[in-house]
Chain A
Amino acid sequence: MTAIHPANPASKPSSPPQPAPSWHGRDLVGLQGLSRAELVSLLTASRDAAHKIEQNALDPVLRGRVVATMFFEDSTRTRSSFTVAAQRAGASVVDLSGGSSSVNKGETLIDTARNIEAMGVDAIIVRARQSGAAQIVAQAVACPIINAGDGRHEHPTQGLLDTLTIASRFGRDSTFDLSGLNVVIVGDIASSRVARSGIAALTSLGAHVTCVGPSSMAPSSLSALGCAVAHELDPLLPTAHAVMMLRIQFERADTDTPTGNKSEQVKKSVIASIREYRRFYALSAERAAKMRQGAIVLHPGPINRGIELDADVADGPRSVIMQQVTNGVAVRAAVLSLLVGGPRP
């Protein structure tokens, strides 16, 4: 097994307690560059929101607020999750997504965002196919922006929900100190915003993260993100506490919009064939059996069943995939409440 380790171990010594950082009026564009205290404050609020949602007791701190979803790329679950979260927290939601938006008529991202802001919304949740799009929108408007995925860059609420799910499962959700936990991320890391956000949060909190995939999907330069890089999955399974399977992103394999059937897409992709990929990187029931007791399997969805993840594993006892979805609503409700709740600026 070849593993390239980052120059600087990500685990940081615990610092003395400090007042929780304020999120009021800020943007959430990414998790890279956030301090440990900032991450912990988001995760703590997310954990509390999860408990309150469970008891049907979430405070409607966003009552009277309007949140806009601006999705320029296909999404069902993320947009729904944000909508449910905003409504649970008391906000109303206006959706300006896909075909209904004038970006398809040539309007720029910035103009669209400024128009939506001028309507008087309190926050904009943006998803776009271009890396860096959320930052562009954040610079163009004054209201808080939440990045719901920008190209290959970041998907911060997904990174938070993955981290919350792992921390909860291993009893680390009081301090969110993840030292000693081994997290293995499998698949097309290079194209994955889910991985970039996850790596940023997990390594910052002390977890040891290894990215695994064929060299085209897991190039050694990924170590710049603070993770280790490996090309063999099997040797990592016995020591992993959490294995995060990524979706094979046929739609991101080429800059063109996807056309044709799946085998057509594979041709454009960075993998030679699905069978070759499965042979080395799919989490089959047989591979899952090599995992340690109590180890968990995550997937950000939607799953290509039978490609990166077998149905037996996705629906099996190690799977926390449904917990991820539930936590997603809690994370988004907490983030919206922190950024938008409280007195109007």
Chain B
Amino acid sequence: MALTGLQIYKLLPGSSKNAEVKKHANCKECGFPTCLAFAMKLAQKQVELAQCPYVEEEAKSQLEESAAPPIRLITLTAHGRKLEVGHETVMFRHDKTFYHQPGLFVKVKDTQADAVDIAKAVNNYWVDYVGMCLALDGLAIEADGGDFAATVATIAPLAASPDAGGGHLILLTEDPTLAEAGLQAAKNIRPLLYAATPTNWQAMAKLAVQYKVPLVVATPKGSSLDDLANLADQVRAAGVEDIVLDPGVRDSRGSVQVLTQLRRLALKKNERRLGYPTLAFANNDPILAAQHIAKYAGFVLFDQFSPATIYPLLVTRSNIFTDPQKPIQVQPGIYEINNPKPTSPLMVTTNFSITYFAVANEVESSGVPSWLLVADAEGMSVLTAWAAGKFDAERIAKSINSTGIADKLNHKRLIIPGHVAVLMGELEEALPGWDIKVGPREAVDLPNYLKLVANS
């Protein structure tokens, strides 16, 4: 349980029964006038316990326990990259934000002839989404009666392309002997080991400790959360600190329910035995994968590698995990696309990332040299900004004038987004001498439009 300020105060020097410690009470060395004031700050997690040099050892461990995050952060490493999962603090993204995107893994079997090809494709896959490089996290390799260690040994060294984020591994086997062979084959990688079950947990826990890897604790279908908590507790008592939970529920409705329950138990009840991220299987079903992304999985395993499915899933993940308090923005100013000349067309748009990249990508792919003026619309889309008064004639005129774009051109023609055609009249007034042209409504139609403009 997280402690209240008063409970914390009872553990600080001011309340100590030990005279040696008690004598420091209210010494202000922590930067606060009293131990109580410091306790209050600690309760709000605004200061570090280490700021008080006199806390007793026993009190320290109690306080640290209470300060530990409700959902443990689990880290995998591979090829110098880290994947961090967990540490979530809210049930809904609007309450604050979701911090760590779930790891997205593609599952292959050691009996699959094309396992290595898929692994290469997964590791090299990335897609550009509003200037961000979205990628998968790696492979989950399942022991299915093939040569598990050899498959792991072949896939493990396949570094991801520099753009991609992949290269991580999850080893799927309940057989401790195979697990150990797999761990040995996954050299220089910190994979996730799946899984400790009610029957094999002792051997699996031993491996996790020995190889210093995080371990999934899995209970079979039909188990209760008590079973899961007890198993996790046993594994922890055996020395494994980095635990991931699989409650064994596979259907979509059931998994939303159980993952919600686990998240609530960790966040609202501070149930330490279940304070870990979860792992969920999506099989071949993108709808299920998207559900796991939105509703509380820490690792999502998907059975198929197909860019037409992976791309929208990666975008789903990116959207759900965007910080709701800050729209993703680009720097306002002049962007030169395809080496524009003084005769090249000039367009204006807003500095909302999604908007900017939608337009910039089209202009670029059109091959037409162009100037793109990005107005400061406080990170809003064209229509949102227009409706909020952040993309009006005055603001556009201001960015034309302040950037000095006119000096780079031998014409005074400005193309505005089709959605704000209504701005035309006002812009003609605000920018005397300029010819205002209304472009297409959607950026997809820009290449054709620009080619027409360029040829006219």
Bound pair (A, B):
no
Interface residues of A (CB under 8 A from B): none
Interface residues of B (CB under 8 A from A): none
